[in-house]
Structure 1
Amino acid sequence: MSDKGQIPTNLRLFVLVEYIAAQGLPQSPNALSIALGLPKPTIHRLLATAEDEGLLQRDIDGRSFGPGTRLRKLAAHTLSSQRLRTERLLVMKSLAEEVGETCNLAAPGRSMMVYLDRVETHWPLRIQLPVGTQVPFHCTASGKMYLSSLRSDKFRRLLEMLPREKMTGRTIVNADRLADEMSMIRERGFSTDNQEFMDGMAAIAVPIRDDSGRLLTTLSLHAPVQRKSVAALSESYEVLKNAASQLEDLLT
């Protein structure tokens, strides 16, 4: 980043958006003014432009700003560039072949997880969740892994905003029970879905983190329970974790 107050006029919007994305938390105009060394009127003008263009959006408090839809799409498209995607699919294909089940890469959206990539198992009996599918946070392995990465206060705020539909008889919708599960996920390093999103489907997920330790995406395995239970999938944790580590290396 340029020295404070020395950011060229034509780069100020880019630097502002870049800074907000790098922080991992919504930023207030006052904090941005101090961090970037730009006058508050300039910051407000840049934020208004970025918000109008969908690059940024206001957080729950109505004052702070975080990544918007357009910026998240840009990030997803960048991750899907041909070279990176080819290498990524090789890692996922190796994982799917070793475990014998479908694997998915998903990223958190504003209110749901979004499937970015997928490698199918060779079995004719499989769960169809194509790229672009959006699934809930509270009852999927990938979604719960994301929730477990949030600070407890942000986790609670998000739960209050989101509908927690009971998708199956096993879906957990109680906030306290979900909070207890988040603690368990953080302790053991992986999340599970034991027919909570869809009857007959089990899943396990691990995080893919950036070099600052923040969750970017999740890597998961899915299987029909007729073939593998959650307990059976959990035995593949180390293999899944190693694949996630390889995917993290592609980001550096």
Structure 2
Amino acid sequence: MPNDQASSKDSQIPTNLRLLMIIEEVVKRGVSVRPVDLIDVIELPKPTIHRLLQTAEAEGFLQRDIDGRSYGPGDRLRALAINTMSSERVRTARLAILKGLTEEIGETCNLATPDREGMTYLDRVETKWPIRVQLPRGTQVPFHCTASGKLYLSSLRSNTLTGVLSARPLEKLTEHTITSPETLRDELAKTRQRGYSTDNQEFMTGMIAIGVPILSPNGRLLATLSTHAPVMRCSLDHMKEFLEPLRLAAKKLSELNGNQ
């Protein structure tokens, strides 16, 4: 009898949709997901859920977490997400927003997305000033000492953040880099409360940055929008005057993503 019930339940969802639905649910949750978390949502038997998760892991779309039981996005799924966001139609509209922002504030603007080891620049528009920092599209920067990275860390759940901060020592890149996990936690709490992040020469000596989140309709961080400049041209206090146009541009980018 139980086998008949499982078989009936298993047949309710078309075979070619099952794996896609599981991947969709993992991405939607934004945290590592255990097989038991998917059973009630996907409404497939436990053995089927396990088999589909193992298939997605083997093909690189999902990746098993450190606990050995839960799953998160794999390299192939992250590449798919970036390629989707970089499609020509979407990218044209996105670059128009970035160009308008860069012209308004007069400094380089970056769009970054979280990856496994750091933040990856998805797009950027350079300032017209001759003195500028060259970080081309595709560059990956650390989480702990960049405006974009600290925004991402501030969006993580407490236990996930603990895992990230305890995984390895925080590398000291400049004399201003925060290398104490406790101090960084305090900085991330401030970031979360005020809704923006700063980089006060923590990634590169002589460079400052400020960033705001690009959120999904349900409030999840999708990407970050930031601007940076050399300290010889701009102070951090002056850069905070860019927050209003940055937030307006982030709202437009969020709406653009929602209309894809």
Q: Is this a same-fold pair by TM over 0.5?
A: yes
> 2: distance between equivalents of 1:162 and 1:230?
29
Counterpart in the other structure of 1:191: 197
In structure 2, the residue corresponding to 1:62 is in which secondary structure? coil
Counterpart in the other structure of 1:110: 116
Q: CA deviation at 1:193?
A: 0.3
Stretches of structure 2 that go unaligned for 5 or more consecutive residues are 1-8
Cα deviations by residue, 1:61-87 (Å, 9 ceiling, x for unpaired): 110011111111111111111111111
Counterpart in the other structure of 2:35: 29
> 2: distance between equivalents of 1:53 and 1:241?
38
> 1: distance between equivalents of 2:201 and 2:29?
35
Aligned mate of 2:233, from 205, 210, 227: 227
> Which 4+ runs in 1 deviate beyond 3 A?
none
1:86 and 2:118 matched? no
Q: Is the 8 A contact 1:140 1:196 kept in 2?
A: yes
Map residues 40-119 of structure 1 onto 2, 5 A cutoff: 40-119=46-125
Counterpart in the other structure of 2:129: 123
Count of matched residue pairs: 250
> 2: distance between equivalents of 1:164 and 1:5?
49
Q: Specify the structure having the higher radius of gyration (Cα).
A: 2
Structure 2 residue identity aligned to 1:137: F
1:145 and 2:144 matched? no
> 1: distance between equivalents of 2:152 and 2:25?
22
Structure 2 residue identity aligned to 1:60: I
Cα deviations by residue, 1:9-47 (Å, 9 ceiling, x for unpaired): 121111111111111111111121222111111111111
Structure 1 residue identity aligned to 2:154: S
Counterpart in the other structure of 2:5: none
Counterpart in the other structure of 1:181: 187
> 2: distance between equivalents of 1:156 and 1:113?
18
Structure 1 residue identity aligned to 2:128: H
In structure 2, the residue corresponding to 1:106 is in which secondary structure? strand
- Of stretches 199-208 and 226-235 in structure 1, the one that deviates more from structure 2 is 226-235
> 2: distance between equivalents of 1:32 and 1:189?
32
Aligned mate of 1:157, from 163, 166, 174: 163
In structure 2, the residue corresponding to 1:7 is in which secondary structure? coil
In structure 1, the residue corresponding to 2:121 is in which secondary structure? strand
- Of stretches 128-137 and 150-159 in structure 1, the one that deviates more from structure 2 is 150-159
Q: CA deviation at 1:4?
A: 8.3
1:8 and 2:14 matched? yes
> 1: distance between equivalents of 2:168 and 2:57?
22
> 1: distance between equivalents of 2:39 and 2:169?
35
Cα deviations by residue, 1:199-233 (Å, 9 ceiling, x for unpaired): 01000000001111000100000101110122111
Q: CA deviation at 1:163?
A: 3.9
Root-mean-square deviation (Å): 1.3
In structure 2, the residue corresponding to 1:126 is in which secondary structure? coil
Q: Is the 8 A contact 1:105 1:218 kept in 2?
A: yes
Normalised to the residue count of structure 2, the TM-score between the two structures is 0.93
1:172 and 2:166 matched? no
Counterpart in the other structure of 1:238: 244
- Of stretches 75-84 and 155-164 in structure 1, the one that deviates more from structure 2 is 155-164
